[in-house]
Structure 1
Amino acid sequence: MPLAITATLRFTAPQRVDCLLQCEAAATGEQRILSGVTTLPAAVPITRVAAQDGVGERFWISPEGDCRITYEAEVEVVRQAVDFAALAQVGKPDLPGEVTQYLFDSRYCAAESFQPFVDSEFPGLAGGARVAAMRDWIAQHFSYVPGISGAHTSARDSFVERRGVCRDYAHVLVAFARAAGIPARYASCYAPDVTPQDFHAIAEVFLADDAGGRWVPVDATGMADPQATALIGVGRDAADVSFLTSFGFVRFDGHKVSVER
């Protein structure tokens, strides 16, 4: 599935400040970057670094004044459809070392506190079947309400409110899965059917396959088709995959995202 992607970020730095950005689609075995150009002010140099788990790249900039960044790309998604509900859970001692971190609590996903709820709400299920039940529960009990949550909203906050945006849905699903002993991570992505159009967030869960295990995308909002979703990056939660992190004050002036088949 080829996707045409355009994303624009605008912000102002009153004085020079270090910023870390992650807004480019990642080159992976499940998606090919046919073309990609990131445009910045001419005086702003870029220093590229590998992103979390080696999925995609981040880049450092140190702007001052008005800054406009535009990313334009064509990405071909070649991800195969998978019935993740039929996949088994990987035994904890059999998990790859780099996956084990995704069993633990993180800044926005206090998974341990959800264990009693997960045990009582999803009994008798394991692996992908349990994840599917969790996804369906969130879809049924949450309302998608833009503007109701913010940068400090945690999975626990969203669980209480029962409303939010993709970021909140993903955090709750990640926390539920970890509470069930299933590794889960947060993923940022581009998808054409997201309404309103924006950077999107989903969960990825690590489940068994013939090779021992694989990361499987799961979207509790139901808006992102895995075969038409371009991954940007992954992390423990939103703090690891922010499209813009400033190490000092900046005034964010807005952004616009367009994703088309």
Structure 2
Amino acid sequence: MPRRVTAELDLDLGSSVDLIFQITAAQGVPLVSETLTFSQGDRVYTPTEIVDQSGSRLHRLTGEQGPLSVRYEALAHGPSQNPRTSDLETITYLRPSRYCQSDEVFAQARRQFRGLTGAELVSAVSNFVASTVTYTPGLSLGTDSAVTTLMTGQGVCRDYAHVAIALLRAMDMPARYAACYAPGLEPMDFHAVAEAYLDGAWYVIDATRLADRRSLVRIATGRDASDCAFLSFYGGYVGLDRLHVDAVLENEVPDAAIPDDHEALVQIA
């Protein structure tokens, strides 16, 4: 399934600033082609690439005052080769984290999903979040957590993912956050989903029901959104003047004609 993904960021740097980006396809995603540029007028920056244990690729550079243009484009095709999950990672993804307070939702999860395990639990959590949270762009805050979203009943993709992760961890199932490109997503943007660890593999949950899980392109993986921000900066002011994200299927794909029922166990390709 060939998928072409692009990201364009126009930034305004108020001074010299340390910039860290997570916008490229993760390590292990089979890429036919890829370009990533950071430019400021005639100057082109060469970032330092750092790869974490999950295969997320971080690009770091020190930008100088003025406008900075970031451009990324890649063509992905074929199945991904995901790194083996270590015992330490599964322990990490069982613990509460900043936005996924599984300890605070423990009692609710145990009441709501009593007796469920395995694939039944994954399906039940996905359906519960899909039916109790309303997709409301512009109303949730970047500091909202799973607890906040359960209280308000509204949010965007990151909020849906946080609730699903918190509930799964509360039921003793390792769960993690994944930032992705999502062909066909509407409205188009960077997308976030949850992943549940079952029988040695990670299966994706998109409780928003806005994207076909089979076509996702992984960008970053972590405990929650704090590990997967598309931009982090330190030591100065950064203004985001423009952000454009796109992801499309390059050719007609037979599977694309069959909608994702969001019930089957699916891995990020």
TM-score category (smaller protein): 0.7 to 0.9
Structure 2 residue matching 1:159: 3-state secondary structure: helix
Once the two structures are superposed, what CA deviation does each residue of 1:154-201 show, in whole Å capped at 9, x if it has no partner? Answer: 111111111111010001111111111111110000111211000000
Structure 2 residue matching 1:103: 3-state secondary structure: coil
Report the counterpart of residue 31 of structure 2 in structure 1.
33
1:226 matches 2:213: yes
- After alignment, is 120-129 or 70-79 more displaced? 70-79
Between the aligned partners of 2:247 and 2:12, the Cα distance in structure 1 is: 25
Structure 2 residue matching 1:112: 3-state secondary structure: coil
User: Quick one: which amino acid aligns to residue 236 of structure 1?
Assistant: R
CA drift at 1:12: 1.1
1:247 matches 2:234: yes
Structure 1 residue matching 2:104: 3-state secondary structure: helix
Q: Considering only aligned residues, what root-mean-square deviation do their CA atoms show, in Å?
A: 1.5
Structure 1 residue matching 2:137: 3-state secondary structure: coil
Kept after mapping to 1: 8 A contact 2:183/2:248: yes
How many residue pairs were aligned? Answer: 240
Report the counterpart of residue 45 of structure 2 in structure 1.
44
Between the aligned partners of 2:49 and 2:79, the Cα distance in structure 1 is: 26
The structure with the largest helix share of the pair is: 1
Kept after mapping to 1: 8 A contact 2:20/2:231: yes
Between the aligned partners of 1:128 and 1:96, the Cα distance in structure 2 is: 21
Kept after mapping to 1: 8 A contact 2:7/2:71: yes
Once the two structures are superposed, what CA deviation does each residue of 1:130-158 show, in whole Å capped at 9, x if it has no partner? Answer: 12101101111111111111211111111
1:257 matches 2:245: yes
Between the aligned partners of 1:177 and 1:245, the Cα distance in structure 2 is: 28
Between the aligned partners of 2:76 and 2:46, the Cα distance in structure 1 is: 25
Kept after mapping to 2: 8 A contact 1:189/1:201: yes
Kept after mapping to 2: 8 A contact 1:154/1:168: yes
User: Quick one: which amino acid aligns to residue 256 of structure 1?
Assistant: H
2:118 counterpart (107, 122, 127): 127
Once the two structures are superposed, what CA deviation does each residue of 1:105-134 show, in whole Å capped at 9, x if it has no partner? Answer: 111111111111111111221122112101
Extract structure 1 runs of 4+ deviating beyond 4 A: none
Name structure 1 gaps, 5 residues minimum.
80-94
Between the aligned partners of 2:27 and 2:50, the Cα distance in structure 1 is: 14
Between the aligned partners of 1:113 and 1:120, the Cα distance in structure 2 is: 13
Note the 1:91-240 alignment, pairs <5 A. 96-208=87-199, 213-240=200-227
User: Quick one: which amino acid aligns to residue 169 of structure 2?
Assistant: R
Between the aligned partners of 1:191 and 1:233, the Cα distance in structure 2 is: 13
Between the aligned partners of 2:216 and 2:54, the Cα distance in structure 1 is: 18
Between the aligned partners of 1:63 and 1:100, the Cα distance in structure 2 is: 37
Between the aligned partners of 2:159 and 2:112, the Cα distance in structure 1 is: 20
CA drift at 1:224: 2.5
TM-score norm. by structure 1 comes to 0.88
Kept after mapping to 2: 8 A contact 1:27/1:33: no
User: Quick one: which amino acid aligns to residue 210 of structure 2?
Assistant: M
1:21 matches 2:21: yes
